[in-house]
Homo-oligomer: A and B are copies of this chain.
Amino acid sequence: MEEARNANIADTIFVELRRKILCGELKAGERLSGERELATKYGTNRNTLREAVRKLEQARLVTVRHGQGVTVADFRKTGTLDLLSPFLQASLDGSEIAHVMEDILEPRVLLLEHATRLAVRRADKGDIERLTDINDLLIAAFDSGDAGVVARGFQRWLDALIDAGHSLIVRWFANPMLDAYRDMVERYPSLWVLEPSFPKHLRDVIRAISEGNEQVAIDATRAYYMRVDGALRGHLQPSSSRDADVSPELPAAGSQDSESTVVPMRRRRSPT
């Protein structure tokens, strides 16, 4: 299955049922078969299956009531951001994915602006050093055009930026989005926005943080992500159909001077 780390039977069933619910195969309000029947269906015993159901319950994907059975919950209404990553992986409705992606962009900028704001206010010397180190690595990777390294390094940059804000709330809000980002990079390794102003953006933000200049940091962040998101939006519309396959090759980084390049996702079907 998709969970490479743990090959638990219970985990596998949990992921499978979650996928079925998130992709609409199991609709809200629908009742699952009894635990005994499900256990047989998945070729395991009741105890193991129950562990999977407990996880579904914890993820608010089902509600369990003694004597009545297990019913699928309306995750669109009661879910949380934890579902973001598995939802993007499971959804079969390309149009809805496009809508969700579109709806992520603005909250993402708001989050990053807020994270940057807190970083300016609260970053200590260690935070700035960490950001500087990652910045150096990122710029080197960017100049050499290694998109994969940049993508992975950027995760560390975001991590460090959020840590620099010293806010539980921002960290907790960011985690599910970082997870989704991680998954996207892993599943669609060719998807990466190469914005020529990327190194300048990083440098500007770090300077603003170390100088304590809040407005400059925010403005730099907002301006950068408006460019990136603009490019992303342009490529999100045409790829609303699921198996769109456009320009799969990864362009070299830094070769453009005024326009950013985006490599649209390419669907990688996992065997079922």
Contact = CB atoms under 8 A, between A and B. Distances in A.
Interface of A: 10, 47, 50-51, 54-55, 57-59, 76-84, 87, 99-100, 103-104, 106-107, 110, 114, 167-173, 175-176
A30 B266 CA distance: 42
A172 B51 contact: no
A83 B170 contact: no
Which of A83, A84, A170, A172 has its CB near the most chain B CB atoms (within 10 A)?
A172
Nearest to A84: B172
Given A78-B175, A175-B79, A103 B168 contact: yes
A63 to B, nearest CB: 10
Contacts of A57: 55
Contact of A10 (B54, B171, B175): B54
Contact of A54 (B55, B81, B87, B106): B55
A103 B114 CA distance: 11
Contacts of A51: 50-51, 54
A173 B173 contact: yes
Which of A55, A80, A82, A106 has its CB near the most chain B CB atoms (within 10 A)?
A80
A169 B104 contact: yes
A63 B53 CA distance: 18
A102 B50 CA distance: 40
A84 B84 CA distance: 18
Contacts of A47: 47, 50
A105 to B, nearest CB: 9
A175 B76 CA distance: 11
A80 B176 contact: yes
A87 B176 CA distance: 18
Given A58-B58, A82-B82, A103-B167, 11 more contacts: A54-B54, A80-B81, A80-B172, A84-B172, A87-B168, A100-B168, A103-B170, A107-B169, A107-B170, A107-B173, A173-B173
